[in-house]
Amino acid sequence: MKMTLNITLLITMTIVLGCGSMGLCEAPKPAGDHAAVICAVKPVATVAPVPLDTKSTDATDLPLVGDWSGAIGTDPLVAQVIDMGKGEYSVNMLSKFDTRDPKLAVLTGPADKLVSGTITSGKYKGSTWTATLTEKVFIGTVTGSVKASFTLKRVMRLSHRLGAKAPAGATVLLSKKTKDINETFTKGGGKPCGWKLLPGGVIQCAPRAGSIITKKKFGSMHLHAEFRTASMPDKRGQGRSNSGFYIQNRYECQVLDSYGCEGVKNECGGLYRAVAPRVNMCAPPRQWQSYDIFFQAPKFDASGEKQIEGAHITVVHNGVLIHNDVVMAKGTGNGGRRKPIAAEYLLLQDHGNPVEFRNIWVADLKKPKTDKDQK
């Protein structure tokens, strides 16, 4: 037993050191059967902010909404600007992106008169923030117990996984070459999908047309998919650009406009109602984002009927590890009512919102392959 534990520890250390040598030391390290594959596609790379490129087709095209970066005094300061509809905004003020640290302040109101309440905790306790937001600059002041000013510029943080090429042998479900989505997807029973095929190999959910499923069934796999949520500022919670990827029609990785939200288990990146993401990596609405989902199918006894080990799921959202080898004894949500299975189709959910998808492919994990150095 002691020898087995030592060997396991050695393997784990080797994987961690391998990831660290790629410059990923500060991020959580993947584990599980396919850790080497996960490391190879750099899932824990940080997402660096760069100045907004209004010509980029990957960035959000919404005025004001999204990421801003700058400084308050000598300290870094970033902001997430969320459209709440009817000319109102909510702005999270943070020391850095992609953290579960408490917000420094939350400003609300119209763009030309954003204000906070009195801050009740933290470094800025007893202060009040006011700001003005335009397409070119976000400026503000802090008064009260702390006096300071800040200036932020618009930035975008795009996943390095956007446009990832399918490795040799992968099943390509959607690409720029797609001419007919009915070749790989169906509504079930052989019926046409009913979703819209847009230029560039993009498909858009046709609200109330029904969810679509792949014609091919999959077991253990690496799923790469890119999606873009719609801007629905007047909606809240689960009504805000909702969809999802249902692995084996049982395990849902949620798609939702959860930009700037808490990041709970029924929001974007969550294993629906089961496991919250480590951090909320949801991008602003109308910005392309990526999922890389590593799924190890459940294991069964010799009869093939009794599950002896649950499914393993690792999720990389926008290039950042948000679920690390999570073991699922059963499916999520309604999927938990279905009997575990070795292989089944992939479902893209219609939840009544026009979410868009592109560049979807599946690689078999029985013989792990990566797309290292292809992008």
Q: Are 50 and 109 in contact (CB under 8 A)?
A: no
Q: What is the pLDDT at residue 48?
A: 87
Give me the phi and psi of 158, to 5 degrees please.
Answer: -95, 140
* SS3 sequence of 160-222: CCCCCCCCCCCEEEECCCCCCHHHCEECCCCCCCCCEEECCCEEECCCCCCCEEECCCECCEE
Looking at residue 41, what is its pLDDT? 47
Instruction: Identify the pLDDT of residue 35.
Output: 54
**Burial classification of residue 156, based on how many CB atoms lie within 10 Å of its CB (0-12 exposed, 13-18 middle, 19 or more buried):** buried
In whole angstroms, what is the distance from residue 149 CA to residue 191 CA?
59
The pLDDT, as a whole number, for residue 30 is 60
Contact call for residues 178 and 200 (beta carbons, < 8 A): no
User: Would you state the pLDDT for residue 4?
Assistant: 40
- 335 in the Ramachandran plot: left (φ > 0), alpha (ψ -120 to 50) or beta? alpha
Query: Which residue, among 91, 95, 102, has the nearest Cα to 131 in the 3D structure?
Result: 91
CB 267 within 8 A of CB 282: yes
Q: Which helix (DSSP H) or strand (DSSP E) does residue 90 occupy?
A: strand 88-94
Residue 334 near residue 346 (C-beta atoms within 8 A): no
SS3 6: helix
Residue ranges of domains in the chain, CATH in brackets: 30-47+159-364 (2.60.120.560), 50-156 (2.40.128)
User: What residue has token string 């999570």?
Assistant: 326
Region for residue 260 given its phi and psi (left: phi exceeds 0; alpha: psi -120 to 50; beta: otherwise): left
- Going by C-alpha positions, the residue among 109, 120, 119 that lies closest to residue 148 is 119
Distances (CA, A) of 218 to 140, 274, 306: 52, 22, 19
| CA distances, 298 to each of 223, 250, 286 (Å) | 16, 12, 35
Say if CB 132 and CB 124 are below 8 A apart. no
This prediction's pTM: 0.89
Are 359 and 174 in contact, with CB atoms under 8 Å apart?
A: yes
279 with 263: CB under 8 angstroms?
yes
Tokens 């190999």 belong to residue: 201
Provide the 8-state DSSP code for 237: G
> Can you give the pLDDT of all 375 residues of the chain as single tens digits?
444 434 333 333 333 333 332 222 234 456 665 555 555 544 445 688 999 999 999 999 999 999 999 999 999 999 999 999 999 999 999 999 998 999 999 999 999 999 999 999 999 999 999 999 999 999 999 999 999 999 999 999 999 899 999 999 999 999 999 999 999 999 988 899 999 999 999 999 999 999 999 999 999 999 999 999 999 999 999 999 999 999 999 999 999 999 999 999 999 999 999 999 999 999 999 999 999 999 999 999 999 999 999 999 999 999 888 999 999 999 999 999 999 999 999 999 999 999 999 999 999 986 444 444 444
- One-letter amino acid of 202: V
